[in-house]
Amino acid sequence: MNLPKELTTVTPLSKILAIIFFITFPLMGFYLGLSYQKNIEQAQVTNNSVQNEKSINLQQAGNADNQVALVGGDHSLIELKFPDDSGITTDGKKFISRDSEIAQINNLLASYPPVKIYNLIGLPGETLEKMRREGEQNSGNNLPDMRTWFRIQYGQNYDATGVMEQLKNYSLVEDINFAPQAVPLPNLSNQLFNYRGEVDGSKYSPTVVSAFRVSVNTNLLKDKTVKKVIFNLPDGVSYTVVKERIFGCGAGECTDPATCPAGCATIEYTWIGNIEEAQNDAPEKVTIVVNGNTIAGSIPEVLGVNKYQYRIGNMAEETSNILFKIDPSKYGVD
């Protein structure tokens, strides 16, 4: 196709327009590209700001949760840690060390005397150090010195927040918090005892073969609808005990002290049962007395099922109930 001559003829005007287009089009493209990039960056900044705000909100919510956790706990029981291998020990009332700062801590505790001070794990220092060395040898890793973790125990309703805040000021105190608050667990079985570690029972009596810290599912003893309870003993022996009677103030009896049998009005629950597996003509009996935080009992009351007897009680220096395994046939009746 042949174009008209006026469209193909180079004129001064066409030269000027060509130069203008040659210069302006690249400049316009460059400007539009800059504007587009600026818009993209602004959009990214806005999006990042939104994400950061969400992240900050989540972090603040998490911090609030942590604050709740820190505020919670048992305010009468302080847990603290000294430096590893510091050699700090306790005699139950104060810390023992030649470090001058420990003397200052003891002076503070003397102003706010605790019920007792004890190692967090509850094992002798030699045992803890042996476990640590063996663990390091087997794992090849450095393990913490559990001898340097302690608990400072005050009375049940005492708030030791002020003491803890002052203890934070000492450089030897590497970590400090309130002990976790014990949460009652639901009754998931009809086993009575939950074991929390063995203790030296020989110091209580020569008739004691072994002794264990235990928590007791007292709901089983207080619930009138529970007919059988398994007394799961530490050496693998378990007795199924059939409830015979439950009485006491908590059981709805003895509401009038003037008409109550002797002692009944001052006892919350007395639980009596018969060992189901007993082969004797007379059933073996079990008696457990629950009175507030005090628990006492004998399993069985006399020997007959085997040569051992088991007794439970509260000891002054222990925070848990202690279950004793007794062998009177070997040492004489306790």
Question: Is the residue at 257 inside a domain?
Answer: yes
Mean pLDDT by 10 residues, the chain (334 residues): 64 74 74 71 55 44 36 79 90 92 94 90 79 81 85 88 93 89 56 86 81 87 86 81 80 57 64 74 75 77 64 76 80 48
Q: Which of 20, 50, 70 is the last residue of a domain?
A: 70
Task: Mark whether 169 and 228 lie in a shared domain.
Answer: no
Question: Is the residue at 186 inside a domain?
Answer: no
| Per-residue pLDDT, 283 | 61
Task: Mark whether 121 and 247 lie in a shared domain.
Answer: no
Task: Mark whether 284 and 306 lie in a shared domain.
Answer: yes
Domain of residue 35, residue span: 5-70
Question: Is the residue at 10 inside a domain?
Answer: yes
| Per-residue pLDDT, 204 | 77
Task: Mark whether 22 and 89 lie in a shared domain.
Answer: no
**Which sign, positive or negative, has the C-alpha torsion 160, 161, 163, 168?**
positive
Could you tell me which of 313, 234, 239, 307 has the C-alpha nearest to residue 273?
Answer: 239
**Dist CA 33 CA 245 (whole Å):** 91
pTM: 0.41
| Per-residue pLDDT, 100 | 92
First-to-last CA distance in the chain? 129
CB-count exposure of residue 182 (10 Å: 0-12, 13-18, 19+)? exposed
| Per-residue pLDDT, 181 | 67
**Dist CA 282 CA 51 (whole Å):** 76
Task: Mark whether 210 and 124 lie in a shared domain.
Answer: no
**Dist CA 230 CA 290 (whole Å):** 17
Task: Mark whether 197 and 317 lie in a shared domain.
Answer: yes
| Per-residue pLDDT, 331 | 55
Task: Mark whether 157 and 212 lie in a shared domain.
Answer: no
Question: Is the residue at 163 inside a domain?
Answer: yes
Q: Which of 44, 70, 96 is the last residue of a domain?
A: 70
Task: Mark whether 62 and 109 lie in a shared domain.
Answer: no
Task: Mark whether 210 and 318 lie in a shared domain.
Answer: yes
Tokens (6 digits) for 266: 């001052």
**Domains in the chain: how many in total?**
3
Find the length of the chain. 334
Residues 229/190, Cβ–Cβ less than 8 Å? yes
Place of tokens 């529970």: 226
Task: Mark whether 246 and 294 lie in a shared domain.
Answer: yes
**DSSP symbols for 178-219:** EEPPP-PPP--SSB-EEEEEEE--TTT-TTEEEEEEEEE-HH
Residues 168/176, Cβ–Cβ less than 8 Å? yes
